[in-house]
Structure 1
Amino acid sequence: MKVLVTGSGGQLGLDLAELLPGRGHEVVALSRRDLDIADARAVDGAVGEHEPGVVVNAAAFTNVDLCEEETEAAYAVNALGPRNLARACEKRGASLLHVSTNYVFDGGQERPYEPFDAARPISAYGRTKLAGEEYVMRLTNRWTVVRTAGVYGQGHNFVRTMLRVAGERDVLKVKDDEFVSPTYARDLAEGIAGIIEEEGYGLYHLTNAGSCSWYEFTREIFRLSGVETELVPIPGSEYPLPAARPANGVLSALGGPTLRPWQEALADYLEREAAAGAARG
């Protein structure tokens, strides 16, 4: 199958572009520099030129706090971008798989969020991503929406940031009252590939199995990496940010694919990072 991947310079896009050819797919990988999905004419031209069987939209404005300041820009990428892709895919007969987020939920319930729980975003990022989902569902018949959370992989991410900061401080404070299922981009890419191959249209939640607070996640990062920086759990109220975060950001995989536990995925990621660092000298 011919797969067009937008946002191929991001964490998920990089892994999709590397993974899919090995599963027998022809891949057209378009980074933000190659294609601005907010440009409707450019999107229509790209889908028309490459004639993919499926488009995977991994492009997004993901700086959650900056979305509060640059709402128009966030809406252009996170909402109008998926709208443009949906229209182009419907016109050309391609399927569309759109990647979304746990931030469409308010985080107020105690159990993990199931795919058809009511979406109540509490940030500009969440609102714009929800708008993108709605455009995709309404403007094309062959759609898949995959919500995920806490993604890390190649490039800037939480794991690398914590390891860098640990080398700069003796004590590190991390929130212990916000929960998530950290998700390795490589695992997420494999799950998405499986959905594409099974033509699994519809709404999915796809994360590594299990959940933890950001403090617990950081503690495991440090344990696996042999970092001895003192780690202190704090409530989110002690670390105010421009954008509100869902306290419960855990997604239920009800009805969808199941990925391995987040602890196994993290260990694999850190081993790969160490090997890559050694190879660079």
Structure 2
Amino acid sequence: MKVLVTGAGGQLGLELMELMPARGYKVIGLTREELDISDAEAVEGSLRKHRPGLVINAAAYTNVDSCEEETGLAYRVNTLGPRNLAQYGERLGCELLHVSTNYVFDGSSSRPYEPFDLPNPISAYGRTKLAGEEYVKCLSSRFYIVRTAGVYGMGRNFVRTMLRLAGERDTLKVKDDEFISPTYARDLAGGMIRVIESGMYGIYHITNAGFCSWYEFAREIFKLSGREVEVLPVPASEYPLPAARPANGVLSSLGSPELRHWREGLADYLERIGAASAGP
């Protein structure tokens, strides 16, 4: 099958571009510079040119706080972009896999969110991503929606930020009242391929197994990388940001491919980037 990946230069896109050819797919990757998915004419032109059997939309405007200030841009990329891909993909007979987020939920649940729990986003990022999901469901007859959370990979992310700060400070304060399942982009890509190969359309939640607070995540990063840093737990209220975050950002894998525990994924990632501890 020929697959077109949008956002091919991002953390997830890079992993898909590496893993999918090994599974026998012919993959065409388009970066943000090569295809602006908010441009309907450009989307139509790319789909007509490449004629993929499947489009994977890994493109998004993911700066959560900037989305509050640049809501128009967030809407164009996160909402109209999926609309364009769904509309023209449907006309040309393409399947569509759209990557979404745990931010479509408000975080008030006492349990992990299941795929058909009622969304209620509390930020511009979450609202625009949810609207993108709705366009995909309305305009495409053959779609997969994959929600994920806390993704890190070969690019800017929380893990790399913590490692950088460890070289600059002796003490760090990290939120301990927001919970997620940290997800290694390589594992996420593998889970997405499993969804595609199942041929079962629908909504999926794919993250690494288990969950933790951002504080616990930071402690594990420093433990596995051998960094000596004091990490202090603080409430999110101590660091107010433009965009609200869901306190419970944990997604249930009900009906979805299950991935390995987040600690295993993190250990492999740190080894891959050369940041793993060599031991005592």
Q: TM-score, normalised by structure 1?
A: 0.97
Distance in 1 between residues matched to 2:127 and 2:275, nearest whole Å: 39
> Match of 1:215, as an amino acid?
Y
Per the alignment, in what secondary structure is the counterpart of residue 260 of structure 1? coil
The 5 A counterparts of 1:77-226 are 77-226=77-226
The answer for the alignment partner of 2:15 in structure 1 is 15
- How many residue pairs were aligned? 276
Distance in 2 between residues matched to 1:5 and 1:194, nearest whole Å: 16
Per the alignment, in what secondary structure is the counterpart of residue 200 of structure 2? coil
Distance in 2 between residues matched to 1:192 and 1:235, nearest whole Å: 34
* Structure 2: tracts of 5 or more residues without a match: none
> Match of 1:203, as an amino acid?
I
The answer for the alignment partner of 1:45 in structure 2 is 45
Q: Percent identity?
A: 71
* Structure 1: tracts of 5 or more residues without a match: 277-281
Distance in 2 between residues matched to 1:26 and 1:194, nearest whole Å: 16
**Does residue 228 of structure 2 align to residue 231 of structure 1?**
no
> Match of 2:95, as an amino acid?
S
The 5 A counterparts of 1:247-266 are 247-266=247-266
Distance in 2 between residues matched to 1:61 and 1:128, nearest whole Å: 10
Distance in 2 between residues matched to 1:50 and 1:201, nearest whole Å: 23
The answer for the alignment partner of 1:30 in structure 2 is 30
Q: Over residues 124-152 of structure 1, what are the superposed CA-to-partner deviations in whole Å (9 max), with x where a residue is unaligned?
A: 00000000000000001001100000000
Distance in 2 between residues matched to 1:275 and 1:130, nearest whole Å: 35
Distance in 2 between residues matched to 1:183 and 1:200, nearest whole Å: 23
> Match of 2:60, as an amino acid?
A
Per the alignment, in what secondary structure is the counterpart of residue 208 of structure 1? coil
* 2:225/2:275 contact within 8 Å kept: no
Q: Which runs of 4+ in 1 moved over 6 A?
A: none
Per the alignment, in what secondary structure is the counterpart of residue 46 of structure 1? helix
**Does residue 66 of structure 2 align to residue 66 of structure 1?**
yes
Offset, 1:198: 1.6
CA RMSD between the two structures: 0.9
Distance in 2 between residues matched to 1:159 and 1:86, nearest whole Å: 33
Per the alignment, in what secondary structure is the counterpart of residue 96 of structure 1? strand
Distance 1:13 1:165, change over 3 A: same
Q: TM-score, normalised by structure 2?
A: 0.98
Distance in 1 between residues matched to 2:88 and 2:227, nearest whole Å: 48
Per the alignment, in what secondary structure is the counterpart of residue 33 of structure 2? coil
Per the alignment, in what secondary structure is the counterpart of residue 155 of structure 1? coil
**Does residue 24 of structure 2 align to residue 57 of structure 1?**
no
Offset, 1:275: 7.7
Per the alignment, in what secondary structure is the counterpart of residue 250 of structure 2? coil
Q: Over residues 53-76 of structure 1, what are the superposed CA-to-partner deviations in whole Å (9 max), with x where a residue is unaligned?
A: 100000000000000000000000
Per the alignment, in what secondary structure is the counterpart of residue 273 of structure 2? helix
> Match of 1:130, as an amino acid?
L
Q: Over residues 193-220 of structure 1, what are the superposed CA-to-partner deviations in whole Å (9 max), with x where a residue is unaligned?
A: 1111221210000000000000000000
Distance in 1 between residues matched to 2:113 and 2:16, nearest whole Å: 26
The answer for the alignment partner of 1:279 in structure 2 is none
Distance in 1 between residues matched to 2:274 and 2:248, nearest whole Å: 31
Distance in 1 between residues matched to 2:227 and 2:241, nearest whole Å: 26
> Match of 2:130, as an amino acid?
L
